[in-house]
Amino acid sequence: MRVKSVVLLFRLFWLFIVRRVLGRGLLASPAARLSAIFLLVAAFAGFNVLSYVVIRQYLGGTGLLEPVLLFANASVGFWVLIAYTLIRVLFMKADELLKLSFNLPVTNKERTMAFALFESSLVLLMTLLVFGAFSISTVLIEGTDYIPRVLASVWFPAISTYLLLSLGYYLLERGLQALRIARLRGLVVPMVLALGLAVAFPQTNEQSSQIAESYVFGRDYNAPVLLYAKLQEDVGLWFSILVLLTTSAALIPAIVAIAPRNYVPMRRFFAFLPSRLAGSKFGVYLLVLFRSFETMVAVSFIIIYSVFAWFEHLVLPPYALALITFQGVYAFSNSEPLRRMVTYPGRTVANYLRLVGSQGVLLMVVGIPVVTISVAQRVSFEACLPVLGFCLSNILISTLVGIAFPPEKGNPFTVIIGVLLTMIVVMIVALGLNVFNFDPIISAAIFAALNLLVVFYSILGMRRMERIARHEVAA
């Protein structure tokens, strides 16, 4: 394997993603790009300021940062697993990205390693968003003496966890190839990752409880996840760095050796629901949604969560239903071929109603058994209603995200940018309503007006995208 080829492919992937993100949908406008960058920077800066204020007010000078660092250490693996799951699932469909290199003089192993390096950079960015503010605030409050502790408690475990996850993934892919079901990895891998999250969550809570109990009673608590922190405390930072380098030197060659040599395309759709539904335009939209890879992944996550909640006796409203509503991000791009056919072009408003209507049917099909399980666990039906209301609203928002930031040609990075920007705007609106403390009826009216505004801009965006496809306006 040639390292130079891996680095060149890594740069090519990033160049493709940046140009696709900045050249399609809403971000094609220079003003929109500047606004998006400003929003992201302002959100991260505000998160840092909020973290600094909270830590200084409640933990500064109290000596409680020691156990808090241990809590972060115990949970960093779980958060890295979440980031890895999100990136792995989103980029599992990015075959178009890999196809860029099919005509280049590179081997499949070099292509796989370049893509793994690309994914690792994204996981690092997501980990930075989760733990960056905490790390910076801790160092600013306690001084530079805390830098070794932060590195050993947060960042060293994060690196080792990611390498272990990568090794496990390639072992799983090798196993699927041996069983000749590698084309189904789009369904098998997310289910395995979901099971990993279901197993890691209670273990993380249990370790956090044991850390708190040990701190209260003045006992030392040792666990494998605290290895780097204990080495840094007992021996020093340089020895923990040496252990990290030694561990990485063992894992990276193993990852390179176990990575598959042959590329197997992934199955994009699953033969689900009868084909006779294609007799109507709405039925075709239903088939596109129900048979898609994204829907199968979301449903598998919800099923695993529901089973996990049942066995763990988690008496919580069915928040997992929100996963199914994010299919709206892909609804517009997945159904784009229908609107280019002579038989199914339709009017823009009618097409939009089919988009959101098919998602409403999917929500009802998945929501009825999930809500029934929640009610059987003694969750009141009244507590489930706000979740259903949020899901209906999120269908409209995610559909707008998919129109403004279309994930074309398997490019999910626009989805990440779009969801981040949307979450920032929604959080600002929710925070504003909370600060002004409006009457519930007024707040509901404001949310209804905002949803109508989302519908209006969605139809407007669809109309423009359809005109661009007909070459009536410039892209």
| Residue 269, φ and ψ in degrees, nearest 5 | -130, 155
pTM: 0.74
- Nearest one of 277, 317, 275, 268 to 297, comparing CA atoms: 268
Give the C-alpha separation, 108 to 263, whole Å. Answer: 7
Tell me, what's the pLDDT at 242? Answer: 92
Asked if residue 266 lies in contact with residue 173, where contact means CB atoms within 8 angstroms, the answer is: no
Q: Block means of pLDDT (10 residues each) for the chain, length 475 residues?
A: 82 76 63 76 80 76 73 85 81 68 79 82 79 82 82 89 89 85 77 83 82 75 81 86 91 86 70 78 86 81 81 79 81 80 70 89 89 84 82 86 72 63 67 69 79 86 75 60
DSSP conformational letter for 269? B
Tell me, what's the pLDDT at 132? Answer: 81
Asked if residue 40 lies in contact with residue 420, where contact means CB atoms within 8 angstroms, the answer is: yes
Q: What is the CA radius of gyration of the chain?
A: 24
In sequence order, what are the residues at sequence separation of 6 or more whose Cβ sits closer than 8 angstroms to the Cβ of residue 278? Answer: 284, 287
